[in-house]
Amino acid sequence: MSQKEFFGFSQQEAQKIIQDLKRYKYGKVLKVERKTKRENPPLLHSLTTLQREANKLYGFSANKTLNIAQKLYEQRKLISYPRTEAKHLPASSKDLVAEILKSLGREDLIKQISKVGKRVFDDSKLTDHHAIIPLAPPSGNLTADELKIYNLIKRRFLAVFYPPYVYEVITVITEVGQKYFFLTREKVEISLGWKELYSSKERKNPTLPDLKEGDKVKKLKEWAEKKQTQPPPRYTEGTLLKEMEKLGLGTPATRAQIIETLKKRRYITTRGKTLIPTEKGIELIKKLRQSEVSSPEMTARWEKALENIHLKKVGEKGYKLFMEKIKEFTTKELEKLKNLTFEVSSQFKTAKRKRKSYRRRRRTK
């Protein structure tokens, strides 16, 4: 996409507009629109959303978050079962939730249990397990990382019983010279609601004056900015988990291990929070691109079929038909793979020789 297509005018055209705008000292407000909006609290944590938040805030890998959550569940007895994709609780758990809120020192939220409805308590949205919630206050012997994960779970649990975040969006359209129109938009917080638990920044004061249609406004200056379109950002583990969940790849219990396996086999590497494909990984995808083996869509179909078998949504006949298709597909793909050749760069070979040499030296000591 060219700059002209994206911005609507070229740099030369922009400079022409800037010169023309210099003739005008004032503009007129054509329209002022105010809309009050409400944003409900996020749903309770599943394992995937917990992993995504921990990666975004602390840079934790999906596997690290899973291991910590498992320890908080098995050894510390502080949270519910973590390997879940559910974001809701059973309706029968309302008394338990009241007890948990009381133990956390938040008796003031108990009255909200009857008001939150199916955003929190919805049996139809449950899988084998409900959402991850805290079960008791933390003890004093948690590690710093354990406390971080516990607090993410606790904060999300408390947030669902808070009121919505309420704000106003003010949109102003200003006319200059009867042929130039400028859009100004500002967000003004009215009530933080559940964001009280998340917001550590001071609230911003509105910067727009109290404008109304027909107001004369003074033009301060005119300028143009040169920008280019940017490629999509690389995946982090958090954004990759979100995409895997969207495509139906893996389960909450296996997604972290899938990413770890890619790292161990050196198909991907990390640079800060960012995931980078290695030369080895790129070469593999090039070779498998024509095969459905690397198709997320096909993998998602298999995952769905396996889930239906697990939930007994298909009978024995459906199970046998699925297995026959798997065998047929595997046989065809193995035949294709036999004819593939892989080229490994000299850089990769050198690195491999260095590691072997290093291991030999260690054995001789």
Catalytic machinery residues: 81
The SS3 of residue 157 is helix
Task: Give the DSSP H or E segment for 39.
Answer: strand 26-39
DSSP 187-204: EEEEE-GGGGGT--SPPP
Nearest to 181 by CA among 171, 191, 189, 190: 171
Length of the chain: 365
User: CA 365, CA 361: separation in Å to the nearest integer?
Assistant: 7
Helices (H) and strands (E) in the chain, counts: 12, 6
User: CA 11, CA 318: separation in Å to the nearest integer?
Assistant: 62
Contacts of 342 (CB under 8 A, 6+ apart): 283, 284, 287
Which residues, listed in sequence order, are joined to residue 271 by a DSSP beta bridge? 274
